[in-house]
Amino acid sequence: MPDRPLRIVHVVGARPNFIKMAPLLAACRAAPAIEPLLVHTGQHYDEAMSGAFFRDLGMPPPDVDLGVGPGSHARQTAGIMTAFEEALDGLRRRPDAVLVVGDVNSTVACGLVAAKAGIPLVHVEAGLRSRDRSMPEEINRIATDAIGDLLFCTERAAVDNLLREGADPDRVFLVGNLLVDALLRYRPRWAESRTLETRGLAARRYAVLTLHRPANVDDPDMLAGLLDAVERVSRELTVVLPAHPRLREALARSGTDERVAAMPGVRLAPPLGYFDFVKLLAEARVCLTDSGGIQEEATVLGVPCLTLRDNTERPVTVESGVNAIVGRDPDRIVEAYREAASRPAPRPCSPPLWDGHAAERIVSILETRLAGASAGAPEREVACLAS
């Protein structure tokens, strides 16, 4: 154990970050050798996109709230960098590491600041690659991994991507998936959600849809085509659509909000709290999504997932047989929906180490690998799980 606890700054900014960070923070708080500090960049700020998750997941309020908010990529990333640098400078004790998760603008912004300040950078969910550089997330992933000191991966393909790109194998660890930690940890809470009853839905008699990728919602023609597909599916099965703010804005901008509101088979809803959303997903007949995390949750829950994209950075979800990459062509989406709805539900699949213990593995590696930094002693060796 080091002379003093390792001070690790944990960064969150957007909805999926809060969910992944909750089990990790709990594990850090239980580890005497770690003193976690929580920084919220303010990238997501609505009650339904941020505050509700802190409350439901029992997360402590952030120690520092940068309050940056929305903006173009450059403006938002730069705003977070400036505010985070000031926040780090304002700390009385220099942190032993900065830990970022996922692929959002907050991830790369804070990663860059940490790396340039010479503070060890830990990236959780490293190595995922869609190989589609038109996705802002792909740029964020590549950049963060390139400057990360410890790279924690959710699946084997991510490890392979990093090694192929020249990452030092001694810094790459296959640890499992924090989103799955959350799914299992909070199962008793989401299992008791009454959201189906409240919405008058019966298990397996509806589909869940989420859409928020810029390539899908910001282009009015693409959005119109996807809505055609949704309308056709909704004539056969009720579609519940908890709308991300980006989708809401895109519907309003393109004047299609009234069209969606008028679709009798579509239930438009605000973004849902985590417990209600997972319950809704777990009981769905099928899920249509362009989310990253929902592909993983559907895999573990065994809910047929149709990914409305041309690629995925999470290939293990496809190898599991639960997730299919169906693209954005309306005919293809309707056909894929009919195929999925006509088959028995796939078996839930837990890829290697998606067992609810990723947070503990991360904490144990942090304790060992950062101990030298805190005590001024050389780093001790641990077995690299990637090898």
Q: Which stretch binds ligand UDP (CB under 6 A): 11-19, 194-202, 304-312, 371-379?
A: 11-19
297 binds, among ligand UDP, ligand UD1, none (CB under 5 to 8 A by kind): ligand UDP
Residue 210 binding ligand UDP, by CB under 6 A? yes
Per-residue mark of binding to ligand UD1, 185-214 (x: CB under 6 A):
---------------------------x--
Per-residue mark of binding to ligand UD1, 283-322 (x: CB under 6 A):
----------------------------------------
Residue 271 binding ligand UDP, by CB under 6 A? yes
369 binds, among ligand UDP, ligand UD1, none (CB under 5 to 8 A by kind): none
- The three-class DSSP label of residue 100 is strand
CA distances from 244 to 158, 168, 273, 303 (A): 27, 38, 12, 21
Residue 49 binding ligand UD1, by CB under 6 A? yes
Choosing from 44, 212, 244, 357, the catalytic residue is 212
379, 197 contact by CB (below 8 A): no
**Among residues 54, 81, 105, 320, the one that binds ligand UD1 under rule CB under 6 A:** 105
Sheet bearing 6-12, strands edge to edge: 64-65, 34-40, 6-12, 97-101, 121-124, 150-153, 172-174
Q: How far apart are CA 38 and CA 23, in angstroms?
A: 13
**Among residues 176, 242, 315, 346, the one that binds ligand UDP under rule CB under 6 A:** 242
87, 58 contact by CB (below 8 A): no
Number of amino acids touching ligand UDP (CB under 6 A)? 16
- The conformational region for residue 176 under phi > 0 = left, psi -120 to 50 = alpha, else beta, is left
Q: How far apart are CA 84 and CA 40, in angstroms?
A: 10
Residue 186 binding ligand UDP, by CB under 6 A? no
Q: Which stretch binds ligand UDP (CB under 6 A): 76-84, 251-259, 291-299, 361-369?
A: 291-299
Residue 62 binding ligand UD1, by CB under 6 A? no
Contacts of 207 (CB under 8 A, 6+ apart): 233, 237, 238, 239, 240, 284, 285, 286, 287, 288, 337
Burial class (CB in 10 A: 0-12, 13-18, 19+), 197: exposed
**Among residues 6, 19, 27, 43, the one that binds ligand UD1 under rule CB under 6 A:** 43
Burial class (CB in 10 A: 0-12, 13-18, 19+), 181: buried
Residue 211 binding ligand UDP, by CB under 6 A? no
Residue 14 binding ligand UD1, by CB under 6 A? yes
242 binds, among ligand UD1, ligand UDP, none (CB under 5 to 8 A by kind): ligand UDP
> In the 8-state DSSP scheme, what is residue 323?
E
Q: Which stretch binds ligand UD1 (CB under 6 A): 91-99, 189-197, 242-250, 335-343?
A: 242-250
271 binds, among ligand UD1, ligand UDP, none (CB under 5 to 8 A by kind): ligand UDP
Number of amino acids touching ligand UD1 (CB under 6 A)? 20
> In the 8-state DSSP scheme, what is residue 224?
H
| Residue nearer to ligand UD1 on the CB measure, 134 or 342 | 134
312: nearest Cα among 161, 106, 150: 161
Q: How far apart are CA 155 and CA 179, in angstroms?
A: 13
Amino acid in the structure at residue 379: E
- Is 212 part of the annotated catalytic residue set? yes
**Among residues 10, 15, 361, 369, the one that binds ligand UDP under rule CB under 6 A:** 15
Residues 2-11, buried b or exposed e (16+ Cβ, 10 A)?
beebbbbbbb
274 binds, among ligand UDP, ligand UD1, none (CB under 5 to 8 A by kind): ligand UDP
Q: How far apart are CA 350 and CA 301, in angstroms?
A: 9
| Residue nearer to ligand UDP on the CB measure, 96 or 297 | 297
| Residue nearer to ligand UD1 on the CB measure, 10 or 212 | 212
Kindly list the catalytic residues.
212
Residues in touch with ligand UD1 (CB under 6 A): 14-16, 43-46, 49-50, 70, 103-105, 136-137, 212, 244-246, 249
